[in-house]
Each structure stands twice: as C-alpha cells, then as structure tokens.
C-alpha cells in the first residue's frame, strides 16, 4: 500500500481506525495530512479500495463520497494552511492571523475543522455532537452569557444561540470574523469581534458565565505557551463566580499527559478548579475536553 510522504503517520492513522479508536472522518483527515498532496492522497485511497479489507474499503468509499470537499481540504494542506506549528515568538500570532485569513477564503468548513472534509453537513454533525456534550456538562442555559475564543466561521454561535442568553465570538482573523457575521446574520443574540489573541482585554471583569475555546489553544501554545497560560488568568477574570471554562484540545503535541500537566499548572496559578481533565467523550471528533470552574466565592 502507498504510504504517502509520511508512512508512519499513515500506518498509525489506519491502525487507530481499525481498532475503533477514531472516526472515519478523523482518519481521512490524518491520511490527507500524511499524504501531503491531493494526488498522493488519491493513491492512498485507491490502495484502500483495492485492499480487500471491508473496513478499509468502506473508508475509501467514504472518501469518494466527499471528493469535492476533500479536494478543497487538500488545497489547504498543499498551501501549508493546515499546520498549527507556525513560527513562535513575536510573529507567531501574526502568522496565525495570515494563515486563517487565507484559509477561510479557500475552504471555510475545512479551515475551522479539517475533519469536516470540507463538507458543511459533516461540520454540522460534529458541532451538534459538541453542543450535546456541553449540554450534558450542564454549562448551557437561557441565562448564560458566553464568550467563544477562536470562533472561526461562527458555527458554535449559530448552534448555541438558541440555548444561551448571549454569545460573543472573537477571532484573530478578520476573514473569519467577516464569515461568522455573514453566517449568523439575523441571529440577534450573537456578536463578533476581531481580537489581538494576546488577552481578553476588550471585556470587563465578571462579564461571562461560560468561556469556550474549541481548537484554539493549540495555536496559542504553538505561538507562545505564555500567551496560552495568560488566557487562563484572563478567563478567570472575565468569568463570574461559579463560571466555567471549557477547552477542547490544549495542544496538538499528541501528548495528553503533558497537556493535562500544563492545564493543571495553569489552572492552579489562575485559581481555577478542574472538573474534567482531558476527557475524550466525542465520537466524530477526537478532541480532548477540559472543564474548569471559577470558585463560586
């Protein structure tokens, strides 16, 4: 079988899929990342289709049914716009801003979630699963005012607006904010703001009951771990007593133990209590969830 540019990554992705550890969507995302180009990815899929292994053949069939979206997703990969490990230091956040301004213009759904395979229906399904988990965690409700760090195209705002009093989405990327405003046009209890990525300075103390960060901390960690750490302090500041901070994926280092250690250290310094520690309770997406609380008094 063709193993693309990164054979170990391809083998690991298929092994995880065959063991039931990850979804087909996540597997196709990793196969594309390992291949590096659309042509190489197509060869991998042809090999799967000819493997004679029913599970792998079904994976190839799924890729075929999402061919157009995968081509858009591949365009992000080939352009280097699917990498969270950009330059650190002073240019880190500026690089992330440029990356997402370019990515959202090419493939909005894939730009915020490569595992969507560039398909709005897949992204809606993943978003619905995340909303259901947040409801299960008890952090939603008609009196809740929420802040979404790294809101992207506003997918969570659209999904959560009926379940909250108000939600504000912030993002580094002006392109993402423009797309989010367009998609949430007419949803009265949403607002969007371009931010610096360094802090939550636009917001006053005790402004929110819930702070969300879905796949945004990995980019802060890659840019500068100190910026990521500062967001814990800032989240505590803008949360009301008893408020919650929900983080899905702290980093893309593939080291959950290290992520748990870093979250614990940042939470302790900021005075936040950990309620859920890197749990993986989603089926379509393999994001690790952290739920933290500001003490009620």
pLDDT digits (tens, 9 = 90+) for 262-285: 999 999 999 999 999 999 999 999
The fourth-level CATH superfamily of domain 121-293 is Vaccinia Virus protein VP39 (3.40.50.150)
Q: What pLDDT, on a 0 to 100 scale, did the predictor assign at position 79?
A: 93
pLDDT digits (tens, 9 = 90+) for 59-110: 999 999 999 999 999 999 999 998 776 555 557 899 999 999 999 999 999 9
Q: What pLDDT, on a 0 to 100 scale, did the predictor assign at position 222?
A: 93
Percent of the chain surpassing pLDDT 70 = 96
Q: Do 100 and 172 form a contact (C-beta atoms < 8 A)? A: yes
**Whole-Å CA distances, 29 to 48, 115, 146, 201:** 15, 5, 30, 35
Q: Which of 233, 211, 230, 212 is nearest to 220 (CA)?
A: 230
CB-based burial of residue 186 (10 Å sphere; 0-12 exposed, 13-18 middle, 19+ buried)?
exposed
The whole-model pTM stands at 0.95
Q: How confident is the model at residue 182 (pLDDT cuts 50, 70, 90)?
A: very high
Using CA atoms, how far apart are residues 269 and 249, in angstroms rounded to an integer?
20
Q: What pLDDT, on a 0 to 100 scale, did the predictor assign at position 297?
A: 78
Residues of the chain with CATH 3.40.50.150: 121-293
């Amino acid at each position: 079988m063709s193993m693309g540019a990164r054979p170990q990554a391809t083998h690991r992705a298929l092994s995880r899929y065959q063991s039931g550890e990850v979804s087909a969507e996540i597997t196709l995302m990793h196969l594309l990342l390992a291949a590096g180009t659309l042509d190489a990815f197509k060869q991998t899929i042809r090999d799967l289709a000819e493997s004679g292994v029913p599970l792998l053949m079904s994976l190839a069939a799924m890729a075929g049914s999402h061919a157009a979206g995968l081509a858009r997703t591949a365009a992000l990969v080939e352009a280097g716009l699917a990498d969270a490990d950009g330059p650190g230091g002073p240019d880190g956040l500026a690089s992330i801003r440029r990356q997402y301004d370019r990515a959202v213009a090419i493939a909005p759904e894939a730009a915020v979630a490569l595992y969507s395979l560039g398909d709005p229906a897949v992204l809606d399904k993943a978003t619905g699963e995340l909303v259901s988990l947040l409801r299960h965690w008890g952090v939603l409700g008609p009196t809740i005012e929420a802040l979404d760090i790294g809101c992207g195209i506003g997918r969570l705002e659209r999904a959560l607006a009926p379940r909250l009093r108000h939600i504000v989405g912030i993002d580094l990327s002006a392109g993402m904010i423009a797309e989010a405003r367009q998609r949430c046009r007419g949803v009265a209890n949403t607002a969007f703001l371009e931010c610096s990525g360094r802090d939550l300075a636009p917001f006053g103390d005790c402004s929110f009951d819930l702070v969300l960060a879905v796949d945004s901390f990995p980019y802060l960690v890659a840019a500068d771990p100190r910026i990521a750490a500062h967001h814990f302090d800032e989240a505590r500041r803008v949360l009301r007593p008893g408020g919650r901070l929900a983080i899905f994926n702290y980093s893309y280092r593939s080291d959950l133990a290290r992520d748990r250690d870093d979250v614990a250290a940042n939470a302790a310094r900021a005075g936040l209590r950990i309620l859920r520690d890197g749990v993986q309770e989603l089926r379509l997406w393999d994001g690790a969830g952290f739920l933290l609380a500001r003490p009620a008094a």
